A and B are shown apart, each in its own frame.
Chain A
């Protein structure tokens, strides 16, 4: 009786979903957030459905399996994307053009009632190697380290902290590739002391910009494309970038609003960004980003190009030379400081400018093959700088802000595979 009541109540709750963001044909996950029926969780431990959005690299499969096994029972996996999944029934997948909310809702209801069986472990539920420490939990041992966590990353001897000299245990861990508010696909091995990063290196590079953002820019190579489509894609891309930063500074509701706006822009609805920007400013967004945090030098900003370069004060934009844009009196917006604040302000400015262009010339067309600035940094040539050079000495929350102040193309160029 009580169990039945629990099931009935639970079936009415928003569906707790953990999103593993894939690459390539990754659908616009922000569409999910338009529905109050979906609760995107920050950790797999709080979710019942693992949503795999788009294709993942083969090398990410092991991470995905570990993620899957962290979901508490009852649990299941749902694929959203065009990649064929031969062994998956229709209840657990949707094409990237479909809206998966109704399918997720039905799947969740069946999962709760037991009609859909909970998925078993993909990996063996045993430690990767036995603990060799002393005591009930293997917690004790010889010397400062206490125990030998055999088969795991070795703890290192304490060294003076690079921030304030306070010595805490140093520990190394891998982070990514599916953490929320984390560049999709990126895996870093990070050495911490407390919550301050001592060193980091790239284990797996991040994914390039999503297909959903690239479509109109790729189309322009082959056919004449509407300016409105190009600029709406730019605004949506920037809004999603802004949403990540808003979430990191503890404004999850405004973050969700930004993502809903992005989904609405993609759906060709008319929206205004100014109210969101105002609400964020009133909440102290600027104060939450320390001045100078994540500042990069001029040479790097120029090499990266795109919004990163304009945030450093360089008014370089391919649209300046395009006749469709010059007729609209287009001039690139810029910032001066080249830090996280500047890059965030640049996204806001460019998104607002993009929507202003759409309303100024809703029917303007851009000729096939014309050069139009993409919403992200230049994707070539190779660059001799690592994103991990920006991180040592930062607290974890600051490091996340720095990482998320770059678009995925910039991160790709700064995050090729490294060896320690």
Chain B
């Protein structure tokens, strides 16, 4: 029974947060464009219906199995990421002792799945998106692993529930101030948004999604939102104490913190310009990665 209730909550959380991000995107874009938003609450639903009403097209000689599987796998990876996070001290769908390692696998497999999506359509612009994503996705993943290991040090555990419990006195965002900002970059990279949208950007006509339409496209777009949700949920738990908080029930705190992290993520994705992939690689390898390593050393010294 508990498992069923948790599963329902997990699905509702993923769908609700995806809708929330889509609404935020619409509002933010309208504000930046200097016009009134168009049916902000219902527009995401209308767009879903539009995509679903379109035919699922084919390209010449695609790797059809992988092309159709990639969106589902991407959504699945996002889903398992959210499943790692407890809604309260007693309710977690996937209570793993090695949750952080699992999350590392989610990040690594996302790189594979996004590459697969771009490559399997047998289209040149999709392939460019795929190449670019691998080049950027891999080093960003390293940053996130340093940051997460640092967060696991005070808890002396790789389980997400234990990391949350270790923040009863002090949230990690205060103890390790660089962690959350660096982790937010991962969110933008895993869901390829704004300054980290190297996979599906308009300069390559939609990149890995340039050839996909109909239901597979809907799954792909949902998976991007779900992946950002997963990153925000993990960030809210690992850096902001997850379900911990006074007066309100644990799940409410988790939802509030996740929506706040998503608000910042969506804002960053609309506000920041994108630099060329090679300059981003240089920035990651020479600035952000050493910074995340220093962060780990700092966390290690504190934990001693």
Contacts and interface: CB of A to CB of B under 8 A. Distances in A.
Interface of A: 6-7, 9-10, 12-14, 16, 34, 36-37, 41-43, 45-46, 48, 70, 72-74, 112, 127, 131, 137-139, 163, 168, 171, 173, 179-181, 192, 194-195, 247-254, 256-257, 260, 279-280, 282-285, 287-288, 290, 395-398, 400-401
B202 A180 contact: yes
A257 B34 contact: yes
Contacts, number: 161
Nearest to B63: A137
Chain A CB within 10 Å — which of B197, B202, B217 has the most? Answer: B202
Interface string B38-52: 110011011111101
Nearest to B121: A45
Interface of B: 28-30, 32-39, 42-43, 45-50, 52-57, 60-63, 124, 128, 131-132, 194-195, 197, 201-206, 209-214, 217, 270-279
A180 B54 contact: no
- Please indicate which of the listed interface residues A34, A72, A284 has the most CB atoms of chain B within 10 Å of its own CB: A72
A10 B50 CA distance: 4
Given A36-B38, A395-B276, 14 more contacts: A6-B49, A7-B53, A9-B46, A9-B48, A72-B213, A127-B61, A137-B62, A180-B205, A195-B128, A250-B201, A260-B35, A288-B274, A396-B128, A397-B276
A45 B274 contact: no
A74 B273 contact: no
Nearest to A44: B205
A257 B30 contact: no
A256 B26 CA distance: 13
Contact of A72 (B55, B131, B279): B55
A397 to B, nearest CB: 5
Contacts of B213: 45-46, 72
19 contacts: A9-B46, A12-B39, A45-B213, A46-B217, A48-B54, A72-B54, A72-B214, A74-B55, A139-B61, A139-B63, A181-B202, A192-B124, A194-B128, A195-B128, A195-B131, A253-B270, A284-B195, A290-B276, A397-B276
A194 B131 contact: yes
A112 B30 CA distance: 26
A398 B276 contact: yes
Given A9-B49, A138-B61, A179-B205, A288 B32 contact: no
B146 to A, nearest CB: 25
Counting chain B CB atoms within 10 Å of each CB, the highest count among A41, A43, A179, A395 belongs to A43
Given A180-B202, A250-B195, A195 B277 contact: yes
A302 B39 CA distance: 50
Contact of A287 (B43, B54, B57, B275): B275
Contact of A173 (B34, B63, B124, B202): B124
Contacts of A280: 273
Nearest to B269: A250
Contacts of A285: 273
Nearest to B128: A195
Contacts of B275: 249, 284, 287-288, 290
A284 B272 contact: yes
B211 A279 contact: no
A37 B46 CA distance: 12
B29 A42 contact: no
Given A36-B36, A173-B124, A250 B205 contact: no
A251 B276 contact: no
A45 B195 contact: no
A166 to B, nearest CB: 10
B206 A45 contact: yes
